[in-house]
């Protein structure tokens, strides 16, 4: 019953460093999503993948890239981390857009 | 008009109270509606889907008003453990899910 698994759970980076957040789901879902959540801002969609082989920008894509490696995995990359990217990042998946999303337990990222 | 609007609250209610939240949406093509619960510093979790005829799950009742474009969540007999942020979500067959910013509920003894 793993559901959506995110790694790492915590990370501290220095400005300018790069890193990749990993996300995998075992529910055979078609759609996957990356969100960031900041205090008072709610969930903001960074990128999404409607199905394997496709990715699209969400509301706040600048400074990020994604890869839908296969149906299970959807990674988020920060090429050159900035303090403004300090946030909690959630990955989610759903069978389709009109089905409920299942979330991972988040990655808490701090950039100094 | 924002795509999704929720009163951020907080709604501060005593145990045993009944409380209701609304969430309005602007996209009339919305087809699917959900309520999520999010505890502090945790991931959102699906609370319930919202069906056209309304639906109930224990102390929770969800309703949809398509004419006025809003959904509601009613919580009866509030428990301390109901304290959380409640997020509404709208989606359709061809557009990505849209989350509201959430309504904070605090249930006190």
Q: Please state, in angstroms and rounded to a whole number, the distance separating the CA atoms of residues A87 and A41.
A: 11
What does the pLDDT look like over A42-100, one tens digit per residue? 899 999 999 999 999 999 999 999 999 899 999 999 999 999 999 999 999 999 988 99
What does the pLDDT look like over B58-82, one tens digit per residue? 999 999 999 999 999 999 999 999 9
pLDDT at A32: 97
Q: Which of residues 71-100 of B touch A (CB under 8 A)?
A: 87, 89, 91-97, 99-100
Binary contact (B97, A94; C-beta < 8 A)? yes
Binary contact (A97, B93; C-beta < 8 A)? yes
Q: Distance from A45 to chain B by nearest Cα, in Å? A: 9
pLDDT at residue B1 is higher than 70:
no
Interface check for B4 against chain A (CB to CB < 8 A): the answer is no
Exposure string over B84-95, b if 16+ CB within 10 A, otherwise e: bbbbbbbbbeee
Least confidently predicted of A18-27, A35-44, B88-97: B88-97
> Who wins on pLDDT, B78 or B93?
B78
């Amino acid at each position: 019953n793993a559901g959506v698994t995110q790694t790492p759970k915590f990370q501290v980076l220095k400005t300018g460093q790069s890193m990749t957040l990993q996300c995998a789901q075992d529910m055979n879902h078609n759609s996957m999503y990356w969100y960031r959540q900041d205090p008072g801002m709610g969930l903001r969609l960074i990128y999404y993948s409607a199905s394997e082989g496709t990715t699209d920008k969400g509301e706040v894509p600048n400074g990020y890239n994604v890869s839908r490696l296969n149906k299970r995995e959807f990674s988020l990359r920060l090429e050159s981390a900035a303090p403004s990217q300090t946030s909690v990042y959630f990955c989610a998946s759903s069978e389709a857009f009109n089905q409920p999303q299942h979330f991972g337990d988040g990655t808490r990222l701090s950039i100094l | 008009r924002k795509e999704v609007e929720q009163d951020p609250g907080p709604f501060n209610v005593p145990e045993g109270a009944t409380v209701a939240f609304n969430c309005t949406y602007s996209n009339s093509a919305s087809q699917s509606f959900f309520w999520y619960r999010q505890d502090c510093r945790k991931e959102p979790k699906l609370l319930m889907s919202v069906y056209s005829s309304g639906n109930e799950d224990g102390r929770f009742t969800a309703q949809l008003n398509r004419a006025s474009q809003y959904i509601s969540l009613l919580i009866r007999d509030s428990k301390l453990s109901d304290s959380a942020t409640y997020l509404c979500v709208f989606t359709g067959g061809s557009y990505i899910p849209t989350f509201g910013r959430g309504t904070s509920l605090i249930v006190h003894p």
